Structure 1
């Protein structure tokens, strides 16, 4: 696993050992970022189920200004911090250990909102639609934001979610990426 492009392009990232997580493959990551904009001029990122932090690091590498990485696993948080260290710009990242739903409420209380929101939960525990609706109601989603959701292809995310429209849907083997825009 590596950073595909941008300022940190080519740098190797660590992943979590074992079968409990499945990091986004370089192929899927490259395709996602080619679709949402290969490079950015600022913007704030939320990586809600960060795992290794690869999506957030890729976004910062390509020009986003700050990323918040959230995961509930101590092991994931450790790997995220190690991967952020390879950027040599830790001030561009905030790492939060906690349950996704509770962290969303905390971020809302802090007055935060995001331009790019990545949701790649454990496939068996995904509640993407509920979490998107929560993010919208809490004011975490900026106008014209993109929400990038990665699921098992057997999960059928709807075309319409209140306040969002489907922008792109793409299958990559057993993975489906659905992108919504506000």
Structure 2
């Protein structure tokens, strides 16, 4: 949708993410936090995820996501929430997610507090993949690595992606 104030994940980055995660997607439940266009969550649904919750504070972004979900006939598997991501995480009362995607505005100190709150509220488990797209060099990522184990990490110039898991080694999915 033209005029949207989003930074869509590039095709190259998206392809890389899904190549790393493909075998775990079927029948999963995901959260697309700071959804923007919803491209990551919609890709999850199209690859066999059972459900995705899309959260963005921008009403135009939510309208775009809803439109894209209708066009792809995936709207029955989705929930869209127009809310500040931190408020959503602090108040959401549902089951844990298998995948959490975070693509917040870069260098705004939104990553660590939201991931730790998801952890505190038991919205992530030992088997949850936490996928963060961030501006290369963001100091929050080093802090995040103190709490979570790095599953994969890749840099694409000014954009980096890290996939994290809980530190607990009792995950039912091999690393």
Q: TM-score range by the shorter chain?
A: 0.7 to 0.9
TM-score, structure 2 normalization:
0.87
**Per-residue deviation, 1:43:** 0.8
Q: Which residue of 2 aligns with 1:90?
A: 75
Q: Which residue of 2 aligns with 1:155?
A: 138
Going from structure 1 to structure 2, the CA distance change for 1:135 and 1:22 (only over 3 Å counts) comes to: same
Aligned to 2:133, the other structure's residue is in SS state strand
Q: Work out the CA distance in 1 between the residues paired with 2:78 and 2:138.
A: 30
Q: 1:11-160 alignment to 2 at 5 Å?
A: 15-17=1-3, 20-37=5-22, 40-107=25-92, 110-156=93-139, 157-158=141-142, 160=145
SS at 2:155 equivalent: strand
Distance 2:87 2:98 in 1: 20
- Output the CA distance in 2 between the equivalents of 1:122 and 1:82: 23
Alpha carbon RMSD of aligned pairs, Å? 1.6
Number of residue pairs aligned between Structure 1 and Structure 2: 164
Could you list the runs of 5+ residues in structure 1 that have no partner in the other structure? 1-14
1:179 paired with 2:156, answer no
How far off is 1:38 after superposition? Answer: 5.3
Residue 26 of structure 1: how far off its partner (Å): 1.0
- Shift of residue 129, structure 1, vs aligned partner: 1.1
SS of the residue 1:123 aligns to: coil
| Deviation sequence 1:102-155 (CA, Å, 0-9, x none) | 111222xx2321000000001142421111111100111022110000011131
Q: Distance in 2 between matches of 1:171 and 1:132?
A: 20
In the superposition, the TM-score normalised over structure 1's length comes to: 0.84
Tell me, in whole angstroms, the C-alpha distance in 1 between the residues paired with 2:134 and 2:110: 10
Larger helix proportion of the pair: 2
